[in-house]
Amino acid sequence: SASSSRWLARQKSDPFVRLRSAPGPGSPGSPDAPAASAGAYRSRAAFKLLEIQRRFRLVREGDTVLDLGCAPGAWLQVASELLRLGEKERGGRLVGVDLLRTDALEGATVLHGDFLERSTQLRLARACTGLAPEGEEWPGGRWVDVILSDMAPNITGNKTADTANMLRLVQAVAGLAVHCLALRQEGRGRGGNLVMKYFAHPELADFKRDYLAPHFRSVMEFKPKSSRSESAETYWVCM
């Protein structure tokens, strides 16, 4: 079909698809080397996080990183490289969760479940802290340094419905972040960081102003070059 032909042509001309598919040398832990381990990345989305990291330096060795909606695992792979989980005594933790089954990744804890459900959130807390929450209680303190979310709702084509679904999703992600990130306002040095995808809309701009801005020192908008030009996706980088 014509649509299939256009898709194939786009894939063939996409430099990030080619880079992901080709074996590439590089320093696995270096955010300045987008070709690092390129041949092993599970999707081209890896390059989006590499760009975000290069620009904002969000993930550091020793951090506890939580990847929401981690399937198929490309962002987990990048985060693992940045944390250098394959090296001894680095001390970081990497936890991912998704409704879809996600292949295991050495050094990471990958959970299957809906992060909106309380039971899944408690499993995440246990994985991030190594402690078993008592009953339905959260573990004490703030237990995540970086939250990553490349999630988006299923697109219906109805702009009103799609915007409402996107708003609900970012509200849920931000709500979890406020409860478990080590925020700057609490005097913990550099504090925690949040990266999440959204689709531009006035209601989403209001959410940034009314909810994100009060909880973070800086909330920036960033569209990676590896994001397709026709895509409305952008990322909030909250620090």
Sequence letter at residue 119: S
Q: CA-to-CA distance for 97 and 120, rounded, in angstroms?
A: 9
Q: Is residue 197 among the annotated active site residues?
A: yes
Contacts of 210 (CB under 8 A, 6+ apart): none
Does residue 107 lie within any of the structural domains?
A: yes
Give whole-number Cα distances, 175 to 9, 52, 144, 167, 180, in Å.
40, 22, 13, 12, 9
User: How many separate domains does the chain show?
Assistant: 1
Does residue 149 lie within any of the structural domains?
A: yes
Does residue 165 lie within any of the structural domains?
A: yes
Q: How many CA atoms lie within 13 A of 108 on its CB side?
A: 26
Does residue 214 lie within any of the structural domains?
A: yes
CATH number for the domain including 137? Answer: 3.40.50.150
Residue 164 structural domain = 43-238
Taking only the tens place, the pLDDT of each residue in 103-154 is: 999 999 999 999 999 999 999 999 999 876 566 676 666 889 999 999 999 9
pTM for the predicted model, two decimal places: 0.83
The pLDDT of residue 47 is above 60: yes
Taking only the tens place, the pLDDT of each residue in 153-182 is: 999 999 999 999 999 999 999 999 998 997
Contact criterion met (CB below 8 Å) for 223 and 183: no
The pLDDT of residue 1 is above 80: no
Q: Of the listed 48, 197, 223, 225, which one is catalytic?
A: 197
Helix axes 46-56, 74-83, angle to 10 degrees: 40
Q: CA-to-CA distance for 169 and 77, rounded, in angstroms?
A: 23
Using pLDDT thresholds of 50, 70 and 90, give the confidence band for residue 29. very low
Does residue 162 lie within any of the structural domains?
A: yes
Q: Residue 62 phi/psi, 5° resolution?
A: 90, -10
